[in-house]
Structure 1
Amino acid sequence: MMNLLVLQLLNGLQLGVLLFLIAAGLTLVFGIMDVVNLAHGVLYMVGAYFIATFAAMTGSFWWGLLLTVPAAIAVGLILELVVIRRLYDRSHLDQVLATFGLVMIANEAVKIVWGTSPLAVPMPELLSGSVPLMGPLQYPVYRIAIIASGLAMAGGLYLVINHTRIGMLLRAGATNRAMVSALGIDIGKLFAIVFTLGAVLACIAGALVAPILSVDTGMGESVLILTFVVVVIGGIGSIRGAFLGAILVAVVDTLGGVFGPILLRSVLDPSAAGQAGRMLAPMLIYILMAALLCVKPDGLFGGRG
């Protein structure tokens, strides 16, 4: 049982750092730009398709990952210029409708360019295999690499947000966007940087997960729901809240899916316990969100505004 717990905690941590990379961009876009972007999950999907394409072209996962970054920057800048910039002064309903339409357009465009069959990204040879953890327990090297790289990017983002001039502007914009604009800061340029940064983080998350999941259309929708939960729990506009919320949501989701049926077997027969566990596990994160919002309506680190 202890081995299973450790394994699932690691799986939860791995999912958590990926959720953080997606949620960090989403919470900045929502907190600073006041834009509800339902198309953020599309960027996660596009990142996975980018690395699948570039890895196949170059024959190297590392070159594919390297080429994904400038491609993600280009996509972020184009989307901000063509679509998102036109939504700044529109209502949240207009933003929801426009970005939902963007999701449908992007999914169809992906089908036209890459087809409907799932794509596979080969595991980099350097990170293949497993390492022993405790007793007979082994854990894939690549998943450990995802955890390490995600934590490293979280640390880098923390330093940028809290110890650089651009980070100061981002924090000020999240607190009082009108004051930042009144002080002479080019708010349009700031918004473009924010959106592009969010796009790059989401694309990197999709690229990192591609070798362990099949790359297919619509893969961004399910993760977007979890990401919105993370943003609400952590507090809109808070990077620290996004990180803690992502880890909390991922661990609860992972442990609930594995240990829920096991615990229910003490009061139900195995078949009923398995069925009830599969039904209740997806509800746990929403129960967690509701309970937390009853205590802290603005999220863990959200500010009233």
Structure 2
Amino acid sequence: MSGIVLVLVTGVGLGALYFLVASGLSLIYGLMHVLNFAHGAFLTLSAFIGWEVAQRMGAGSWGGFAVSVIVGGIVGALFATVTELVLIRPLYERHIEQVLVTVGLSLAAVALFEGIWGPDVAHVAGPAWLKSTTEVLGAHIPNIYWLLILCAALVLAAIVLFLRKTRYGMIIRAGVENRSMVTALGIDVRRSFTVVFAIGGAAAGIGGVLAMHWYTFVSPHMGATLLIFAFIVTIIGGLGSLTGAAIASVLVAVLQQFANTYLGGTGDLIVVVLLAVVLLVRPRGLMGRTA
């Protein structure tokens, strides 16, 4: 029983990490129809800057950890904003060019990170509590998973509240439905779309800093690895659906953990099979809208 509880809770925690990475990806596509292959670069840069901040403030202190998460979110938002203004804004409605530009940016970013921080991993020493465990029904759950679950829930709630309760959120949703009408009212929709990119980048930045504590290291290729699962989650949940991304994140991670534990480490294979089944049976994803 304790083994099942351990796998289940760690699966939900891993799903929370997948959601933190996928939420920005899903938000940007859902509201702007931009497939951003540079999303992993936002995550990686934020993780490295967060690591630098934590090292200088005390890697094992809660103060250093908290500031590194905040700084990671800010760095991700700034990187995403610059990317939207310089590279994406001139290419709206030109999807092939968007893909080529963001793929190129992601490859260039990895080379840049290797040049600055080197190709090897940099190990992370976070607060001791994150490495401790909490007993639940006889299972000793690493505390990092509880933190991931909490942060994912807060990010989901913050994005939903922003879109539904704020003026900018209403402008963004209206601009997605009828951009010309909103523009005719004298509202700069482009500025609102930049805000969407910034929010997506901030979510990726927070996810990047938390991911390095989950991995216990940061590397130039960390973002690319997580981006693969983020795309899988986004597709399974339904492109553009935040709720679908949240459900798919947990589903994918739990299946992956159970398969790795009880089916000889076949978690990645099970995830790919699930993706194939969803594409064959329900191509728009679990909660995607019919085109």
TM-score computed with the length of structure 2 as normaliser = 0.89
Residue in structure 2 matched with residue 45 of structure 1 by the alignment = 44
Match of 2:275 among 285, 289, 299: 289
Q: Does 1:224 align with 2:227?
A: yes
Deviation at 1:168, TM superposition (A): 2.8
Match of 2:236 among 233, 236, 254: 233
CA distance in 2: counterparts of 1:117 and 1:111, whole angstroms: 8
Instruction: Describe the SS at the equivalent of 2:218.
Output: coil
CA contact (8 A) 1:32 1:177 kept: no
Match of 2:69 among 65, 74, 85: 65
Deviation at 1:55, TM superposition (A): 0.6
CA contact (8 A) 1:132 1:138 kept: yes
The percent identity for this pair of structures is 35
Paired letter, 1:88: Y
Segments of structure 2 that go 5 or more residues without pairing to the other structure are 59-63
Paired letter, 1:186: D
Larger radius of gyration: 1
Report the more deviating stretch, 71-80 or 288-297: 288-297
Deviation at 1:83, TM superposition (A): 1.7
TM-score computed with the length of structure 1 as normaliser = 0.86
CA contact (8 A) 2:10 2:141 kept: no
Inter-CA distance 185–240: structure 2 relative to 1 (3 Å threshold): farther
Q: Does 1:140 align with 2:142?
A: yes
Paired letter, 1:18: L
- Render the CA deviation track for 1:256-280: whole Å, top value 9, x for unaligned: 222222xxxxxxxxxxxxxxx54xx
Inter-CA distance 71–178: structure 2 relative to 1 (3 Å threshold): same
Residue in structure 2 matched with residue 36 of structure 1 by the alignment = 35
CA contact (8 A) 2:252 2:271 kept: yes
Q: How does 1:1-305 map to 2 (within 5 A)?
A: 2-59=1-58, 60-90=64-94, 92-135=95-138, 137-177=139-179, 179-213=181-215, 214-261=217-264, 278=266, 281-305=267-291
CA contact (8 A) 1:230 1:242 kept: yes
CA contact (8 A) 2:84 2:197 kept: yes
Segments of structure 1 that go 5 or more residues without pairing to the other structure are 262-276
Paired letter, 2:101: A
CA distance in 2: counterparts of 1:207 and 1:291, whole angstroms: 32
Deviation at 1:38, TM superposition (A): 0.9
Residue in structure 2 matched with residue 274 of structure 1 by the alignment = none
Deviation at 1:37, TM superposition (A): 1.2
- Render the CA deviation track for 1:202-244: whole Å, top value 9, x for unaligned: 1100101212312011111221121111111111221111111
Paired letter, 1:34: H
CA contact (8 A) 1:298 1:304 kept: yes
Deviation at 1:165, TM superposition (A): 2.9
Deviation at 1:56, TM superposition (A): 1.0
CA distance in 1: counterparts of 2:32 and 2:253, whole angstroms: 26
Inter-CA distance 149–179: structure 2 relative to 1 (3 Å threshold): same
Deviation at 1:52, TM superposition (A): 0.7
Report the more deviating stretch, 174-183 or 208-217: 174-183
Paired letter, 1:102: L
CA distance in 1: counterparts of 2:212 and 2:184, whole angstroms: 43
Deviation at 1:109, TM superposition (A): 1.0
CA distance in 2: counterparts of 1:203 and 1:301, whole angstroms: 26
CA contact (8 A) 1:14 1:147 kept: yes
Instruction: Describe the SS at the equivalent of 1:83.
Output: helix
CA contact (8 A) 2:70 2:206 kept: no
Deviation at 1:176, TM superposition (A): 4.6
CA contact (8 A) 1:52 1:121 kept: yes
Deviation at 1:128, TM superposition (A): 4.2
